[in-house]
Structure formats: structure tokens, C-alpha cells
Structure 1
Amino acid sequence: MRAVIQRVDGAQVEVDGEVIGALEGEGLVALVGVTHEDGPGQVATIARKICELRLLTGERSVLDAGAQVLVISQFTLYADVRKGRRPSWNGAAPAAVAEPLVDQVVEAIRQRGVSVATGRFGAHMRVGLTGDGPVTILVEA
């Protein structure tokens, strides 16, 4: 499992012109990708990192700051572009495997008391954010 975590000052995700998830103010956007071997251990690690990494102003975590997180599923994090010009998506888990694991990441973050907004799995989404820093971290579990 991979997550690209960005510190933001506001973010939103739209599907078909409708805002379906948003956060205001300081928080994190987490793009989460799932591969074939992922399971509960990877879910726990990614959720813990999203909640505990001290990425916000003043070296605070989202738990310290009471900040929000926007989680977006992102199978393209497992693109393989080593050959040719067309990415291979073979490293990404199929939807039947990936969707429940992304949902588990969201639930694990919520269980820690963090407010979480989400995108819609498998939908064409428009994600808008105001990067803060910029701070962008790649986490692999």
C-alpha cells in the first residue's frame, strides 16, 4: 500500500460537478493506492502514519491539531512506466480488493477521532487543493 500525503490549506473532491468531500483549513490529503499483497497490516500502518506524522504547522500531527483528512483512492500510484510510453497498471489491486482496503483505511483514521472526507471509488474525480509548504510525503507499507 502506498499513500501520497500532502499538507493543505483546504481541499475538495467533485464527481459530476458535485462536491462530495471537502476539508477547510489546515489538514492532509491522502492519495491511497493498493497492491495485490495488501491487507490489515498495511491498512494499520498507513492509517497510523496519516494520523501521527508531524506534517502540520508547528510539527503537529492531525491528531495534535484536530485537523481533517481527505482520502482519495488512487490506483495510479502503482503505475509502472519503466517500459514504453503507456503505463502498466498490473501492480494495482483490482477494485474488489482495493475498495474495501481503502474503506478500512478511512475507518481506521475515523476510529482515532479524526474527521475524514472521501472521494468516490472508481469515479472520475476532480480534486482541488491548496498545497501548504509544499509538503508532500510518500509512505509505503
Structure 2
Amino acid sequence: MHLYHDPDVPGRLDIDRGFYERIARATGRRRRVHEHIVPIRSGYAWPVKAGCVVRIVTVEGPQVCDLNLWNVYNPRERFWAARTRQLQGAHVTTFDRLWSCLPYLRPMVTITNDTLPTTPTANGGRCHDLLG
């Protein structure tokens, strides 16, 4: 029984950073297949194939984005914010994963790039709160 993190024995939270860094850098090889601007106080859902890159951008000043995820082939498997917060922390960033609910408990998304500031503002505000 190991009661410590052994770097030679990868666990569920270990990630191949080199792989995801290559994905983040390969911007010239990407082809946009869909674009949508979500109007204020509304929502939008679209399917994303495994292996695709999704970019979420704020286009008009300070904005809030609620993101929910479901497995398109099994809607019982969905994003679990509370478990993600326990596994990754409340402020997710590059290389963190968004995890699905039990009994699946697997990564649904891996963040490959994060352009939002992660340090608190002068008045204590922050981005990326995972509220369950």
C-alpha cells in the first residue's frame, strides 16, 4: 500500500502534459467547424466529438459562462462540478480536467489553455469558481 505520490506510478490525476501542450500549440492545424455567439441570459448546446478542441471566448467585456457537459451517447454521464472541485481545486486552469459523475468518474474535458487571470483582483475577485 502506497500512502504517498510515487512519480513512477501514475495515478488517475496524472496527465501527459507534453501531449496537451502539443494540442495547445497546434493552432495552425485547426479548422473551425462551428461558431456561435450566445446571447445574454440564454443558453446553447452542441455536440463535440472526442478529440476536438473547443474554444470559449468572452467577446463583450466582463461576462459569466456556465458550462455543463453530458456524454452525447449516455446522458446519465454528466459533468460533476463538486467532484471536479475535490480532484482539481476550485479554480481550474491549464491541464486540469472536468470530471464526470459516478459510476463513470472519468475526465470529460482537459483544459489545454487558459487566458483568464488566476490571481485575485485588488478587491478579491477571481475567475473559474467551480460551484457545485
Question: Greater share of strand residues, 1 or 2?
Answer: 1
Structure number with higher relative contact order (C-alpha < 8 Å, ≥ 6 residues apart): 1
Instruction: Point out the structure with max Rg over C-alpha.
Output: 2
Category of TM-score, reference length = shorter chain: under 0.3
TM-score normalised to structure 1 length: 0.24
Q: What is the TM-score of this pair, normalised by structure 2? A: 0.25
